[in-house]
Structure 1
């Protein structure tokens, strides 16, 4: 002879559908979501919260699933954890070009993520000629632009200007001879 389970809430026998939650048995209409109060008599799934309360699937996800820092939606699958934040993998991207960041990435002091090119552009260390990062520490500044030493040359004759005098005209560098000829 099998014993009939007893509902934890009403202490009555459970003759038909029995929900097992928190190691106890319940009539589906005697246990409800802690957030919305909806019972589980319609056959919907009961989720046991780590806080010891029952939840419908919607409110369980809303309360306990990690939230993506960028879109603020629940993350149900794989997550990317970076910069003390959680993201959908496709939302962890460069702040400038939105390229998805996987593996190596760069960030500013305020934890804004960037791809390599846009990081160096943001901090002002992208060569104005080749648009590649200036990594050596050696660079030439002209106004707000920076250059690799080998990329700082006269805009007319293309002679190297690193370490020599030059003239600036319309935000471009010229050797003294070309500047005299042209302007």
Structure 2
């Protein structure tokens, strides 16, 4: 009898005459090794995964335990991964908190590590011009109440004449030229 070519099960030390499962550099009867998490054996031919901790896992539990999880959807990441702000993401899930546009490698973030596109970052920190909806990055801006404006976009709320460099009056967080303020509010 040729027993030298017949593998021996590491668990029971008996010859393996049917399906032989190789795991951890050893041979097993599929029903003598089970998932370390759920206990499922591999007699149905399902895949046995060896974890970095040295234990056997079914594919589902292997992914649940060892695959990095996407911060946004919490699902395992298989394939490409985006690492940003100390978190892992599926590349398509690394997106602006406000508009959900994919950020790729260009993004802004607040102190709490919330990712934003440029427009929504400046909106979040209060530096988006109320008139043109573009970031105020030059350092020059005019603030009226909670609104900010580029100097060239600072107009009377009623007649729309420019107010940059001239006197104006505020009413309910809106700016008016002196003449319109007098007409409207006395």
Under TM normalisation by the shorter chain, which class is it? over 0.9
Distance 2:158 2:27 in 1: 86
Matched residue of 2:62: which SS?
helix
Cα separation, 2, equivalents of 1:179 and 1:17: 90
Which range is displaced more, 9-18 or 95-104? 95-104
TM-score by length of 1: 0.94
The superposition leaves residues 140-167 of structure 1 with CA deviations (integer Å, 9 ceiling, x where unpaired) of 0000000001111223443322232101
State the Cα deviation string for residues 34-68 of structure 1 (Å, max 9, x = none).
11111111111000111100001110011011111
What is the distance in 2 between the residues matched to 1:176 and 1:146?
20
Q: Quote the residue 2:110 is aligned against.
A: 108
- The residue aligned with 1:65 is 67
Q: Which runs of 5+ in 2 are unaligned?
A: none
Q: Secondary structure at the match of 1:61?
A: helix
- Runs of 4+ aligned residues of structure 1 deviating over 4 Å after TM superposition are none
* Other structure's SS at 1:69 match: coil
Task: Structure 1: give runs of 5+ residues left out of the alignment.
Answer: none
Name the SS of the counterpart of 1:20 in structure 2.
strand
CA contact (8 A) 2:145 2:174 kept: no
Cα drift, residue 103 of structure 1: 2.2
Secondary structure of the structure 2 residue equivalent to 1:121: helix
User: What is the Cα-based RMSD across aligned positions, in Å?
Assistant: 1.5
Q: For residue 55 of structure 1, what is the aligned residue in structure 2?
A: 57
- Please report how far the alpha carbon of residue 170 of structure 1 lies from its aligned counterpart in structure 2 after TM superposition: 4.1
